[in-house]
Amino acid sequence: MNGSSFVPAPDALPLPAPEPLLRFLLLLTFLLHLLAMNGLLGGTLLALWSRLRARAPDDLHGALAARIGRLLPTLFAGTITFGVAPLLFLQALYGRWFLTSSVLMGWPWLAIVPLVTLAYGGAYLESFRRGRLGRLRTPLLAAVSLLLLTVALIYTHNATLMLRPGAWAAAYFARPGGGSLNFGDPQVVPRWLHMVLGAAAVAGLLVAWWGGALRRRDPAAGAFMRAHGLTVLGAVTMANFLIGMWFLIALPRPVMLGFMGGSGHATGLLGAGLVLALALIALAMRARGRPDASLRPVTAVALLTLIVMVLMRDYVRAAALAAAGEPAAAAVRTQGLNIALFALLLVGAALTVWWMVRALARGAGD
């Protein structure tokens, strides 16, 4: 029995829109989810790091940890909300692989709900009960960080296991009741580390923007947060550059060769990603050395880097499934009215979220 026999047949219900449109919406909504998730995971890690470095609760590091901690429930809500749409589009386009790998994982995949619930509760305690926690604040923040890192690792296992239909039969017969993880895949660890470090880098940029907005009311804290955030952005991006090379080498050979000249699209994305990463490091260090320099250039490059990373991730998924012998795509029956309604609601939601972000930015000065 081979892995391809485990791939379910296309769903009897046709896709409600052309595949290119659904793929575009998957990438767009995943990018939005990625921004919120980076703020949550990266922000939690930065808060923990600052809490560990603080010599007093009210010094610059302690104040930064407290500021980020107050924002964690909001970041949690944004991450979960923005995660619904890409998950639905992923199921529509790749449900046969994604749901099969989810079933093979079983209990680890189901554990995401209680793990996220516990982390969410810890974030609320950090935000609203920090004054009563005393010495428990640091262990609590460490626990929330560990829970989020565990959830990220579970997602990484699923995202990689779904691309290996050839390994499904062995995984199922080894653990028919679920519990199959994908540690045998060499790309799991570098892919997870690449995502975690990327989250820390984006969070550093957000902290730098926050510090810039604070400088009028609290010059010392604002200057510290701006410089600290840019330092994190530059240093973590340097480390992630090396992790990215590890991730590239760990990819299945047919996929890796696509990035090494086998596909013009993939090679172009890799080249753009390398150039953007180097530019991001240079701009972050330049802005750190010039306290009055605008953060818009480094932010634009960071956003372009995230877009390229999302496109590279999409190529890895498509190339891996193609190499594994992807079955025929599902039929399509376009539902024009529903698509138009979705587009209208998407625009309305985007405007609402933009208004909420601006309101939050105005009220989060301290």
- pLDDT grade, residue 353 (50/70/90)? confident
- Residue 1: the pLDDT is 45
pLDDT digits (tens, 9 = 90+) for 211-255: 988 888 888 999 999 999 999 999 999 999 999 999 999 999 999
Burial of 87 (0-12, 13-18, 19+ CB in 10 A): middle
**119, 148 contact by CB (below 8 A):** yes
Domain count, the chain: 1
User: What whole-number distance in Å separates Cα of residue 163 and Cα of residue 344?
Assistant: 34
With respect to residue 120, please indicate whether it lies within any of the assigned structural domains. yes
Across all residues in the chain, what is the average pLDDT? 89
Confidence check: pLDDT of 109 > 70: yes
With respect to residue 90, please indicate whether it lies within any of the assigned structural domains. yes
- pLDDT grade, residue 326 (50/70/90)? low
- Residue 174: the pLDDT is 86
- Residue 72: the pLDDT is 92
- pLDDT grade, residue 75 (50/70/90)? very high
In terms of average pLDDT, the best of 133-137, 193-197, 335-339 is 193-197
- Residue 110: the pLDDT is 94
**164, 2 contact by CB (below 8 A):** no
With respect to residue 201, please indicate whether it lies within any of the assigned structural domains. yes
pLDDT digits (tens, 9 = 90+) for 28-53: 999 999 999 999 999 999 999 999 98
With respect to residue 356, please indicate whether it lies within any of the assigned structural domains. no
Mean pLDDT of 87-114: 91
With respect to residue 80, please indicate whether it lies within any of the assigned structural domains. yes
Confidence check: pLDDT of 327 > 60: no
With respect to residue 122, please indicate whether it lies within any of the assigned structural domains. yes
- pLDDT grade, residue 329 (50/70/90)? low
DSSP letters, 217-280, are T-HHHHHHHHHHHHHHHHHHHHHHHHHHHHHHHHS-HHHHHIIIII-HHHHHHHHHHHHHHHHH
Residues 34, 37, 41, 47, Cα dihedral to 10°? 110
Taking CA atoms, 271 is separated from 255, 266, 307, in Å, by 16, 9, 14
Residue % of the chain over a pLDDT of 90: 57
Mean pLDDT of 329-354: 82
291, two tokens: 């306290």
With respect to residue 346, please indicate whether it lies within any of the assigned structural domains. no
Confidence check: pLDDT of 193 > 90: yes
Structural domain for 126, as ranges? 11-334
User: What whole-number distance in Å separates Cα of residue 108 and Cα of residue 103?
Assistant: 10
Confidence check: pLDDT of 56 > 90: no
Mean pLDDT of 295-313: 96
Residue 332's DSSP bridge partners are 15
Question: Which comes out higher in pLDDT, residue 215 or 266?
Answer: 266
The pTM for the full model equals 0.90
Confidence check: pLDDT of 2 > 70: no
Confidence check: pLDDT of 366 > 70: no
With respect to residue 50, please indicate whether it lies within any of the assigned structural domains. yes
